[in-house]
Amino acid sequence: MYRFDNITRILSGNIGKPLNWYIGTLSLYLHSNFSVLKIFKNFKDYSSQKPLALSLGMFDGVHLGHKSIIDELINVGTENNLETAILTFWPHPRFVFNPNEDLRLLNTLEEKKQLIEKYGINHLFLKEFDEEFRNLTGEEFVRQILIDKLNVKYLIIGYDHSFGKNKSGNFELLEKLSKELGFVVEQMEAINIYENNISSTKIRNALLAGNIKEANEMLGYSYSVSGTVVHGKKIGRTIGYPTANIETESIKLLPKKGAYIVEAEVKGQQYKGMLSIGTNPTVNGEKLTVEVYILDFDGDIYDEKITVKFRDFLHDEIKFEGLEKLIERLDEDKRLTQEFQF
């Protein structure tokens, strides 16, 4: 519905236009929003006869704040016959400045691509944040990259965005350069939830505190983790709760240790599940694991890729006195999961 909401708003806001305007606008919108996302790792590989409406930033999480930017990009692109693009960086610049950075991200690269494509952007530039690039001043970045290489005619940035060496690029600089270089710049206002501006950092903090519902509200979708099912110690099957051990990407943020209600996707089918993040202290485990017990499922899924969407937090990680107490808690968690309305 997201894409159709955009075109409905555009058309209804231009009542009285000639018929050919409506036909042309609708045609352009459908072409822009239902085409395959084109991904470029080098600016030299990009060529287009149409100028761009573009936004830049990390877009980690592609949360509601980012979606407001994407929404505006698509509106501007449709109204001004511009293709839409996002310029982001991979890996995260913080890993370049500090190779030992312990930052974990809301999206893997593949997840970010899928989310950006889902919302109808035409082009995604994945720029490596190398030594040469990090030394560009804000003004050099605008002139050499945005104008000379990408032909940007409309630039949209977030409410707190800065760029370039020593963060020398900001909205004030862009306003000044826009007059000289012939592009339009727009700064989006912050999106607020719980009287706070939405940001990737606040979503990470919510997940690390186990505040799943708050994180999901800021994201606009359920936070998820994907990975391959690998062999574990198989203790769960001895107590009636066989679990799938998920091997996740090391860069992906895991919520705080504890038990969660999740929705598991296995081979295209959706199931309710109970997920544990922790070291299994009741059986003296040491390695951090991600394990999911899938309700109403019985099958061999080793080496299969599964995705779990976090719906709610059940409780912190607990070290029980023995397996009997653990089973009692699992039974209660199962009851709560069965009753949970997805």
Residues 6 or more apart whose CB falls under 8 angstroms from that of 60 comprise: 92, 105, 106, 107, 112, 200
Task: With a cut of 70, list the residues of the chain below it in pLDDT.
Answer: 1-14, 16-35
Which 8-state DSSP code applies to residue 169?
Answer: B
Cα separation of 75 and 278, whole Å?
44
pLDDT, residue 175, reads: 97
pLDDT, residue 24, reads: 52
- Residues present in the chain in total: 342
- Please, are residues 185 and 163 in contact by the beta-carbon 8 Å criterion? no
Residue 273, burial from CB neighbour count under 10 angstroms (0-12, 13-18, 19+): buried
The tokens for 190 are 């912050």
pLDDT, residue 2, reads: 47
pLDDT, residue 1, reads: 42
Other C-beta atoms within 10 Å of 231: how many?
8
Give the DSSP letter string of 46-110.
Answer: ---SS-EEEEES--TT--HHHHHHHHHHHHHHHHHT-EEEEEEESS-HHHHH-TT----BSS-HH
| Element containing residue 193 per DSSP (H, E) | strand 192-193
Can you give the residue ranges of every domain in the chain? 2-193, 222-339
The tokens for 158 are 């977030």
pLDDT digits (tens, 9 = 90+) for 34-76: 568 999 999 999 998 899 999 999 999 999 999 999 999 999 9
- Please, are residues 254 and 225 in contact by the beta-carbon 8 Å criterion? yes
Quote the pTM value: 0.87
pLDDT, residue 284, reads: 84
Domain 2-193 sits in CATH 3.40.50.1820: no
**Superfamily of segment(s) 222-339:** Riboflavin kinase-like (2.40.30.30)
